[in-house]
Structure 1
Amino acid sequence: MENPLLLFTQLNNSASKDKSYYKVTKATVKEEPNKASKPGAKQKRNRLSLLLQKSELHEAEHLGKPTSLTKAASSVSPEEAMKWGESFDKLLSQKDGLDAFTKFLKTEFSEENIEFWMACEDYKKSKTTNELFPKAKTIYEMFIRKDAPKEVNLDFKTKEVTSQNIEQPVITTFDAAQNTVYRLMEQDSYPRFLRSDLYLNLVKGRNPGRPTLRRRSRSFTVNDFQGVRPDFTIWH
């Protein structure tokens, strides 16, 4: 029979070792989640930061910064804004009106129309024939040709005539295309602009809030909006 004292000593040493191993194991188990959790939390913060940045960039690209709208509102009197409702010509003839209308078209993803119209206006100010060709080429490549970066919505005949005239450009080369886009804006976008929060806030003398994004259909044609006139009763 073994000595009881020796047996007790062996058991005690074994228990001490097990206890020590348990402490070490327990500590290791506790530390590993902590080490894993720190990078996880950091990754989540980084991911959230990227999402916020993307959201801000998206809004800045399509809506314009609120500060720019506020600046526009402070420089335009309600009386001046009211005059923009008299006619589309009146709106485009004033810089502030043109800027406000351009901002509105950006919310509808159709700013290529007003950009094309302005490019044509600049084109017609060319003083020499040497200026016409490079400008005409640029306008055609940007707005007219098939799959152009900012292709405008033109009927087949108008596009065909414009494409032929580009070979020997003159002052009137883009007149037909410009008139088509002008009528489309006047009968389609302009009435919606007059009903928009951006415009109504200017008329009421208030800082415009963030406009609402609306995807317009690009299948509209000029004929779809014949006879459409702005409703001026909304200002009373």
Structure 2
Amino acid sequence: MENPLLLFPQLNISASKDKSYYKVMKSTIKEELLEKLPKFCCRAKQKRNRLSLLLQKPEFHEGDHLAKPENLTKAGSVSPEEAVKWGESFDKLLSEKAGLDAFTNFLKTEFSEENIEFWIACEDYKKSKTAHELLPKAKTIYETFIQKDAPKEVNLDFHTKEVTSQNIGQPIITTFDRAQNMVYRLMEQDSYPRFLRSDPYLNLVKGRNPSRPTLRRRSRSFTVNDFKGVRPDFTVW
């Protein structure tokens, strides 16, 4: 019996015997890889930059429990009445230490704590008593929160960044006012409403402590001795 002849029209049998055919295919594949290589490198660089940014944040290493919503504030440290007052205004929330701590921990769950840290740094900056104190503080704030690729860079428009950078050489008390007000409005309009809707805050208002599990009373275990001298009452059946 003769072997059947199988035809594969998609294969160019004549071309496969030609060495030049392999050279052309090899060159084509090499060119395609070279074209895609920059894209792969760019993506890898972006991933390394994101990881580097996270590693620069001390909160990324220390106390990962702070990022958990149930640890919004210390157990039993805030009364429901006090928590309700936080909802009256954003100013009221930040004016109380417990409220500021709770809001800071909430922002950590959203990985946006640089906003409140910048606001706090600006508040401390404005408490400087002498002009000699302003320069080192201004430089630290600028390098940490404002300059391009800063470890905790906040979201500011180009004009605000330019004006702030021009005043760093000779800082005054109001050097960061424009940037601080912008970050303040961002938190007030964006993060603060979500904070008030969050489960940890609502639990504080209701007097609940989500970090402490509800304890159920364990039922007493009976032993054989408990049933000595007791006759079964079959009338209940």
State the TM-score bracket (shorter-chain normalisation): 0.5 to 0.7
* Partner amino acid, structure 1, of 2:133: E
What is the Cα deviation at residue 208 of structure 1? Answer: 3.0
RMSD between aligned residues: 2.2
Per the TM alignment, residue 194 of structure 1 is displaced from its structure 2 partner at its CA by: 0.1
The CA distance in 1 between the partners of 2:69 and 2:91, in whole Å, is 27
- Checking the alignment, whether the CA contact within 8 Å between 1:193 and 1:199 is kept in structure 2 is yes
- Deviation sequence 1:165-192 (CA, Å, 0-9, x none): 1111000000000000000000000000
Give 3-state SS (helix, strand or coil) of 1:75's partner.
coil
The structure-2 alpha-carbon separation of the partners of 1:59 and 1:65, relative to structure 1 and needing over 3 Å to count, comes to farther
Structure having the higher helix fraction is 1
Deviation per CA, 1:128-171: give whole Å up to 9, x if none.
00000000000000000000000000011111111111111000
Deviation for aligned residue 1:90? 0.2
CA positional deviation for 1:207: 1.1
Give the 3-state SS of the residue equivalent to 2:76 in structure 1. Answer: helix
Structure 2 residue runs of 5 or longer lacking an equivalent are 1-59, 213-237
2:160 aligned with 1:161: no
For 2:134, what is the secondary structure of its paired residue? helix
One-letter amino acid matched to 2:134: L
Q: Distance in 1 between matches of 2:192 and 2:136?
A: 31
Counting aligned pairs with the same residue, the percent is 84
Which residue of the partner structure matches residue 194 of structure 2? 192
* Structure of greater relative contact order (alpha carbons < 8 Å, 6+ residues apart): 1
Shift of 1:209: 4.5
Q: TM-score, normalised by structure 1?
A: 0.61
C-alpha separation between the residues in 2 aligned to 1:196 and 1:68? Answer: 12
> What is the match of residue 97 of structure 2?
95
- 1:174 corresponds in structure 2 to 176
Match of 1:151 in 2: 153
| Alpha-carbon separation, structure 2, partners of 1:58 and 1:145 | 24
TM-score (norm 2): 0.61
Query: Is 1:132 aligned to 2:134, yes or no?
Result: yes
Relative to structure 1, is the Cα distance of residues 140 and 93 closer, same or farther in structure 2, using a 3 angstrom cutoff?
same
Aligned length: 153
Mind listing any 5+ residue stretches in structure 1 that lack a counterpart? 1-56, 211-236
Tell me if structure 1 keeps the 8 A contact 2:73–2:105. no
* 1:201–1:207 CA contact under 8 A, matched in 2: yes
Q: Distance in 2 between matches of 1:173 and 1:70?
A: 33
Shift in alpha-carbon separation, 1:178–1:113, aligned structure 2, 3 A = same
Q: Which amino acid aligns with 1:127?
A: K
- Equivalent residue number for residue 117 of structure 2: 115
